[in-house]
Amino acid sequence: MSERYDTPVRVGVRQIVAPIGAGEARIPALVRLPDARILLFYDERPAPASGTGSDFNGLTMASDLPNPNRIRWMECDARGEWSDPRSLPEGAPPVSSDACVGVDADGVMHLAFASSEGAVGYMDSRAHGERLRAWWAWGSGPEDLTYADMTDALYECTGADALFATSGGAASVDGDVAMPYVVRVGERTCVRVVYARGGCIVRLADCLVGPEGILLDETSVTVWNGRVVANCRLQGFEGRGS
């Protein structure tokens, strides 16, 4: 099937945020709130202790958690100008990374992100040991957030050794925010969509598993003709965890 779109589209490109020093500005997530505010969340990643952020450290990229990253946010005004970067309000953990953001049918913004305590990252997280942390925040906007450490709840309902919400804007499905999580159990990896409303888990999709030998990684979801469609990245181009 092919489709043609004859409406011309003008696209302009300009830089709106820059890394600090030898660090990185990565992992953008856009959301439009019910009051038409447009927000951008992203990772402010300091330079890792050794090498550059894109170096493969044997597990993941050097600037991935447990690198001491933090999520920042910006707002676009009516003229298309972006504000200076701002920190998440009080209550967030000191380390935060990989924002996944969406809005439910009641207009509540949900922000899911990962955090780390100590030196644990995705590939060395264990269900019954040190775990990569999973946090949620929700509210009317980025200045008004309620935080919850969802680690215990999400690890229990998925049986995970490690999990993280994949970064980016999340779709709304039947009024719920559909947040895709990469879930690792032992050496097996799948994607599970967690549906949230009002700061609560309301349902959990079955595992989405790749063909034999293919491990799924960061995933975006959208709704097309009433069906949830997933666009999955594959693991393995830089190593087991990348």
237 or 85, which is more confident = 85
Alpha helices in 14-171, H assignment, sequence order: 151-158
pLDDT digit string, tens, across residues 107-127: 999 999 999 998 899 989 999
123: left (phi over 0), alpha (psi -120 to 50) or beta: alpha
Pick from 183, 167, 177: nearest CA to 228: 177
Q: What's phi and psi for 154, nearest 5 deg?
A: -75, -40
Q: What is d(CA 60, CA 97) in angstroms, rounded to the nearest whole number?
A: 14
Give φ, ψ of 84 to 5 degrees.
-70, 155
Maximum separation of any 2 CA atoms in the chain, in Å: 56
- The DSSP code for 65 is T
How far out from the chain centre does Cα 224 lie? Answer: 21
Could you read off the pLDDT of 142-162 as tens digits, one per residue? 999 999 999 999 999 999 999
Q: What's 24-234's CATH class?
A: mainly beta
Give the C-alpha separation, 4 to 112, whole Å: 36
Cβ(215)–Cβ(233) under 8 Å? no
Tokens 């034999």 identify what position?
212
E runs forming strands in 142-215: 144-149, 162-165, 168-169, 171-173, 176-185, 188-197, 200-204
Say if residue 30's pLDDT is above 60.
yes
pTM of the model: 0.90
